[in-house]
Chains A and B, each alone.
Chain A
């Protein structure tokens, strides 16, 4: 009796973005690579939040993981080795209207980029940093990285890695101003997505370390976790992760952990027998650098346009003198 209005029928006020809208190329990662799962989670996040591709930037360094921006149909910056974070910070400070994501590998972030890593944590700028940690340099064909477990044979350590690996979560939690630290594994897609989503909604730098299988160079390094689900410890809390029943059925080790408790977080980070998965630490009250040093003129298209107009006006010809 009322009929339907134009808005109802066409529903055109807003475009609905699908996963395909964020997908640009078919990934050239090896079959079975864990990066695929992280890519799917990132695309799903953008789809669920309905963020316009043109309002999103993915920044990466060098490595397998750093091919990420090529497969996202958003803005992207494939940077220098270890320099993804400073580039992302530069983007964020000039264009606070963009959503910035950083994808790095373990070699990229924890080795050559470690200085930037530490300071990015301290600067606490509003973005999401994901470290794809496969415990090896994969792109350059198997060299030991800071997180390579002791004893693993590689091209640079033919008799097995000599040093104990770096515990990136411990390091992170030791830096001042750190505001969000989470650990994820790529083979539980539901938790991975949820962690990235919570990181995205966090105000400040969300540091997410993701354990990622490399089927080619470290095929068995995560076997203790994959074959023995009890080695994974899920952290659940009403302010943190909510873990669904099917997941609880598979991973029976679930502990309550309040993400605001730094001491407890450090305990979990230092664990070696079991791997904690979930949000270790979160503090929304730490000031972000982009708030403290807000630019007077962010480079939004409108501002650039106005500046250009102003410049062009200088070339105006005065008809009286011509």
Chain B
């Protein structure tokens, strides 16, 4: 209607209409009516009714079997995702552990979410502003993960955070006014001292940037500790040189400063002293200059992380720089030599005759252990394809005893349909038993970071295997899946042979090391009901993500029978395969509907292989170790056998005694009976109407008692508890009209629930009298005082009588 009139209406009216339309769009059309929340992504399963026609069943089963053995192509599984992953992919939340924040000390590697938490905890203002402030910081965190997760160059963290906070401030300040407390807090925050550090983005470059940076910081710290006198020595040596060359200093040392007038005598002295200084020893001065240069070089290197990183970049091995690494190593040895010379020089103990030769032939072998450790390891970055080509060379280097840290980064785990040997290399490196190994997808890097640092700092070789997939579903989810499906488990192994084997292993908790597969508990809706489903993320689930394997999955017909199927996770664990059943996994489509996917023999075999590998790893790490289990089993069997033997002996012993007693008792009874019958009284009674009856056979009770403890005792107790429960005070909370009457009497005893309806919070917080008063005052009579909890309260009898009315 509005459109019709707008054509010929006068301009102001048109404008007004336009404005109105715009406002209509801004405002909800009927604000009192809350729109139902948009249906969020959830898993659901349509109800299924299997066919009961025998021929169809037979045909379907045959078809499934044909698929399993590879004679029938799968229908494909495009668009299907494992349920757990589908929830993450289609759900609202975005999971992105990047950009990583590396603090000033290298041991702080934080995901954005951890960083934001730290910031909130350190910088959050008072309680009333805290929430708003936290929200702003969370917004900053979201910006970080959204726009900066793929940065190709490291960015300085404080500047970036300050910039984002500034933008947020501008945006929200205009809306809420500058005086809003949270805005002020944000303002103060953006100007405060933020923790120093650097952000690193996700990509093939990540390890190349992150590891040298961490290594540089670590090494710098180490050098500073080892050469703790460096500062002092540098000052002293520079002082010596200046002494030898600077006339002014000499003159100042000689006498207190003189006034304006020129003292010619003093001048003459100075000139002479300079000459003397120069003649001190040209050789020594030269030596000192060299030493000073070396020490200054140290200072330059250690000045900042950036300088250290530049220096250490010569230890990153590439083909073209093989010699450079060697030279750099020599330089460090030279620098250490000069440091030692400086120590002697400063004490004026350097004697060329004694020390000259030694220092001229100074080499690696003359370094102390601590000093030898200062020579940084060679970092070798290669990608998985290169590594596959040069496998032997890799092993040789790992075994050479050389300090080398090999960092392998894979972009894919497959070459065509073959699994790359990356997985095996890490395991092989473990089996060498003296190499530290860390394996993790980049998305879990923060988790294994302490192990990475440990491996970098250790003396021997180390092998790092990282995995950064090219974007597929979501690269983080995808790499997380590789870890959960055990294709690329997150683990570390320490090369330090002093520790026990299981202590040297570390399997990340994020992948549930004790389970065969990473298991999710998912909520699934059937019509209107919700059920939970425990879902294993198997290797097949991971293969499902890979487009090359879609033909190996078969989407099960909705009406198919299911008795011949078995979940894949159980399939790989069953010991005997006498009962031939076809394995399947679950998957979800874009609408959240669950589908059953049959997998074929190829997938099942791969899954089994991955499962076996994982079991091996678990055993190494001391989880469900089969040797331990066997030893336990044997020990238990032995103990049980011993116990059984003992029981048998005891039994025989007691049976023998029982037999003895029984014989003796029978004799006694007979003799008593005879005595009774023959007694005077019996004779008097004559007929024997009230004849005393012999006691019940005692042997029976005696035999029974040890076997059965008295059961009636427990029964009694239960009854007691039941009656107690009836005597407890309670309120019919749903009927409460929130009138506050009871809370006016005692606000400790009575409390409101989330719907502002009263319940008894603590019956001990007040007297029974108060309880009865509240019951009497309650306008809707829903307080039931029960029985008093304190039997010593005065006037109880009357109160109990008053309470009776409300206990019914």
Contacts and interface: CB of A to CB of B under 8 A. Distances in A.
B31 A99 contact: yes
Given A18-B754, A187-B779, A200-B32, A5 B734 contact: no
B178 to A, nearest CB: 15
B283 interface: no
A134 B707 CA distance: 72
Contacts of A43: 756
Contacts of B113: 3-6, 9
B687 to A, nearest CB: 67
Given A7-B142, A8-B93, A96-B31, A1 B779 contact: no
B740 A27 contact: yes
Interface string B737-770: 1111100100000000011110000000000000
Given A6-B141, A33-B739, A97-B28, A189 B33 contact: no
B631 interface: no
5 smallest CB-CB distances across A and B, nearest first, come from A1-B484, A37-B737, A40-B738, A40-B756, A5-B93
B510 interface: yes
B95 interface: yes
B32 A126 contact: yes
Contacts of A158: none
Question: In the complex, which of the residues B33, B443, B483, B484 has the most CB atoms of chain A within 10 Å of its own CB atom?
Answer: B33
A224 interface: no
Given A97-B31, A187-B780, A300-B27, A31 B739 contact: yes
A37 B734 contact: no
11 contacts: A2-B95, A2-B480, A4-B95, A7-B142, A12-B131, A15-B131, A37-B738, A97-B27, A127-B32, A189-B738, A215-B779
B511 A1 contact: yes
A49 B780 contact: no
B518 A32 contact: no
A297 B740 contact: no
B739 A6 contact: no
Given A49-B34, A213-B779, A40 B27 contact: no
Contact of B737 (A18, A187, A300): A187
A99 B30 CA distance: 10
Nearest to A9: B113
Question: In the complex, which of the residues B116, B444, B739 has the most CB atoms of chain A within 10 Å of its own CB atom?
Answer: B739
The interface residues of chain B, by DSSP majority, are classed as helix
Given A2-B477, A6-B145, A246 B734 contact: yes
B789 to A, nearest CB: 25
A40 B757 contact: yes
Nearest to B778: A32
Contacts of B150: none
B235 interface: no
B101 to A, nearest CB: 13
Interface residues of A, number: 54
Contacts of B111: 3
A19 B738 CA distance: 13
Interface stretch (B15-23, B347-355, B404-412): B15-23
Interface string B236-247: 000000000000
Contacts of A49: 34
A44 B741 CA distance: 20
Contacts of A32: 739, 741, 777, 779
Given A99-B31, A296-B20, A10 B739 contact: no
A115 interface: no
B93 A189 contact: no
A98 interface: yes
Interface of B: 16, 19-20, 23, 26-28, 30-34, 84, 88, 92-97, 111-113, 116-117, 131, 134-135, 138, 141-142, 145, 443-444, 476-477, 480-481, 483-484, 510-512, 518, 537, 734-741, 744, 754-757, 777, 779-780
Question: In the complex, which of the residues B95, B518, B744, B756 has the most CB atoms of chain A within 10 Å of its own CB atom?
Answer: B756
A188 interface: yes
A186 interface: yes
Contacts of B739: 31-34, 36-37
Contact of A31 (B444, B741, B754): B741
Given A4-B113, A187-B780, A296-B16, A36 B737 contact: yes
Interface string A141-185: 000000000000000000000000000000000000000000000
Interface string A283-319: 0000000000010111010110000000000000000
Given A6-B142, A7-B94, A297 B738 contact: no
B97 A3 contact: yes
Contacts of B754: 18-19
Nearest to B744: A31
A19 B756 contact: yes
A1 B510 contact: yes
A39 interface: yes
Contacts of A7: 92-94, 138, 142
Contacts of B737: 34, 36-37, 40, 186-187, 189
B116 A12 contact: no
Question: In the complex, which of the residues A4, A40, A126 has the most CB atoms of chain B within 10 Å of its own CB atom?
Answer: A40
Contacts, number: 144
A131 to B, nearest CB: 17
Given A1-B518, A126-B30, 4 more contacts: A2-B84, A2-B477, A12-B134, A12-B135
Contacts of A203: 30, 32-33
Question: In the complex, which of the residues B19, B33, B443, B740 has the most CB atoms of chain A within 10 Å of its own CB atom?
Answer: B740
A12 B19 contact: no
Given A31-B739, A32-B739, A203-B30, A5 B96 contact: yes
Contacts of A37: 737-739
A264 to B, nearest CB: 26
A112 B558 CA distance: 68
Question: In the complex, which of the residues A6, A18, A294 has the most CB atoms of chain B within 10 Å of its own CB atom?
Answer: A6
A233 B486 CA distance: 65
A254 to B, nearest CB: 17
A213 B739 CA distance: 11
Contacts of A36: 737-740
A190 interface: yes
A213 B755 CA distance: 21
A248 interface: no
A201 interface: yes
A15 B134 CA distance: 12
Nearest to B511: A1
B27 to A, nearest CB: 5
A5 B735 contact: no
Given A27-B740, A298-B23, A1 B131 contact: no
A195 to B, nearest CB: 14
A130 B192 CA distance: 52
Interface in A19-46: 19, 27, 31-34, 36-37, 39-40, 43-44
Given A2-B88, A97-B28, A31 B777 contact: yes
B468 to A, nearest CB: 16
Contacts of A215: 779
Interface string A226-265: 1000000000000000000010000000000000000000
Interface string A185-224: 0111110000000001101000000000101000000000
Nearest to B489: A1
Contacts of A9: 113, 117
Contacts of B510: 1, 3
B31 A44 contact: no
Contacts of B131: 12, 15
A292 to B, nearest CB: 13
A6 B138 contact: yes
B27 A96 contact: yes
Contacts of B736: 189
A53 B734 CA distance: 25
Contacts of A51: 34
B41 to A, nearest CB: 14
Nearest to A246: B734
Contacts of B34: 49, 51, 201
